[in-house]
């Protein structure tokens, strides 16, 4: 059996050695709360795991050793990280990839003929191919690397929206969208005269799909929707929305930040014109995300930023532009981070996105409006508390959270 110490010291990713790890190899960590004395007593007396216990180990138990940040205590309490909706933690193999890039082949991409540049370019473009395969894009040229999903949405808003929207046109969104999917279209609306149309909630508190369908008209030019809500957790029927939008000639942009890290996503099956996601929610580095766009549509769009890499030829009075995706990747990109995203995708793929989707429950605890103020106003509340899990969380952590929540409720409802 591979011990936790050996596995951690070798910085190997989890999936190749999954069959060799039992619950003893990845001790569950509690949250910023103290275990009750009852729970502490029961855990202290646990014997070495049997073969039956090993085979029953959860995905969270088996993967925790790959996430050294989870092996911490604060003020004597074990860390439970339930803020994965905001950002995920990174496995050791992703950090190792970043370290190897900066130690051994740090160089600019696409522009050098020396060995370091060639190696960096190969790794960077390999990461693009991994992203394309991960979401089943028709071609890796449909994947544009951006700083994050926010930049990807802004790219579409400015490069497509500013050229295709005019006075009287309509942009359809739901009130449950993240601010990053609302504010860029407010900018475009103010500059073009296009109108924003918002879909409200049903009595069950989820976006009203029938209302969305009713808002679609010949004036609708683009529909901007989430795949999975970062606050409500509800999932929209993207394939249906695309079908309805196509009938009136409208484009569809999907914010997939909360779906791509947690479930299989097939962009060809969904059929949306644009889809965005962020690396840092996918166990990858911060500072990089991606836009998937249909290639013919990307080819028809103007550049978002000007500079090196995105040009074909530069003259004194004008320039011609490269084909996508280079057209939208001006300047030196986040090379190491993109390569790290590729490693994160390898890690997730080896586990299996369907397995991750089936395992994850739904509890980090984050308070505030979660970049969804319009939704909170609609619900009649100023803020909410969100607990968001990932596959490396365990049942024991959920138990700790529930105990702490009960204690909090008791405290707040008791007479002092």
Does the active-site annotation cover 13?
no
Residue of 93, 257, 283, 371 marked active site:
371
Helices 395-413 and 37-44: crossing angle in degrees, nearest 10, is 160
Identify the sign of the CA torsion 53, 59, 61, 65: positive
Residues 6+ apart with CB under 8 A from 165: 171, 188, 189, 192, 194, 221, 222
CB atoms within 10 A of CB 190: 10
Q: Report, as residue numbers or ranges, the catalytic residues.
A: 371
């Amino acid at each position: 059996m591979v011990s936790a110490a050996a596995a951690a010291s070798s910085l190997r990713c989890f999936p190749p050695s999954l069959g060799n790890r039992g619950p003893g190899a990845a001790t569950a960590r509690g949250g910023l709360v103290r275990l009750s004395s009852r729970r502490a007593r029961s855990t202290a007396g646990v014997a070495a795991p049997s073969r039956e216990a090993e085979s029953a180990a959860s995905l969270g138990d088996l993967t925790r050793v790959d996430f050294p940040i989870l092996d911490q205590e604060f003020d004597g309490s074990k860390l439970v990280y339930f803020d994965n909706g905001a950002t995920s933690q990174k496995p050791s193999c992703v950090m190792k990839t970043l370290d190897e890039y900066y130690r051994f082949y740090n160089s600019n991409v696409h522009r050098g003929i020396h060995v370091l540049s060639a190696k960096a370019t190969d790794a960077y473009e390999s990461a693009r191919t991994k992203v394309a395969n991960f979401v089943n894009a028709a071609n890796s040229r449909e994947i544009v690397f951006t700083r994050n999903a926010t930049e990807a949405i802004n790219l579409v808003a400015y490069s497509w929206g500013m050229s295709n929207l005019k006075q009287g046109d309509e942009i359809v969104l739901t009130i449950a969208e993240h601010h990053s999917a609302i504010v860029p279209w407010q900018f475009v609306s103010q500059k073009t005269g296009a109108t924003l149309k918002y879909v409200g909630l049903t009595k069950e508190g989820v976006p009203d799909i029938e209302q969305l369908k009713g808002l679609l008209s010949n004036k609708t030019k683009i529909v901007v929707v989430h795949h999975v809500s970062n606050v409500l957790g509800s999932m929209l029927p993207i394939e249906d929305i695309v079908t309805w939008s196509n009938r009136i000639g409208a484009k569809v942009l999907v914010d997939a930040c909360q779906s791509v890290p947690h479930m299989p996503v097939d962009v060809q099956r969904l059929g949306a014109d644009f889809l965005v996601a962020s690396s840092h929610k996918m166990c990858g580095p911060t500072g990089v995300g991606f836009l998937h766009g249909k290639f013919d549509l990307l080819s028809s769009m103007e550049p978002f930023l000007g500079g090196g890499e995105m040009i074909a030829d530069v003259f004194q009075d004008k320039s011609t532009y490269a084909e996508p995706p280079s057209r939208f990747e001006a300047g030196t990109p986040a090379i190491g981070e993109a390569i790290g995203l590729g490693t994160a995708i390898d890690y997730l793929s080896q586990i299996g996105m369907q397995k991750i989707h089936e395992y994850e429950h739904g509890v980090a605890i984050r308070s505030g409006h979660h970049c969804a103020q319009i939704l909170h106003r609609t619900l009649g509340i100023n803020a909410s508390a969100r607990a968001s899990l990932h596959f490396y969380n365990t049942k024991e952590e959920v138990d700790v959270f529930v105990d702490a929540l009960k204690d909090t409720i008791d405290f707040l409802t008791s007479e002092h």
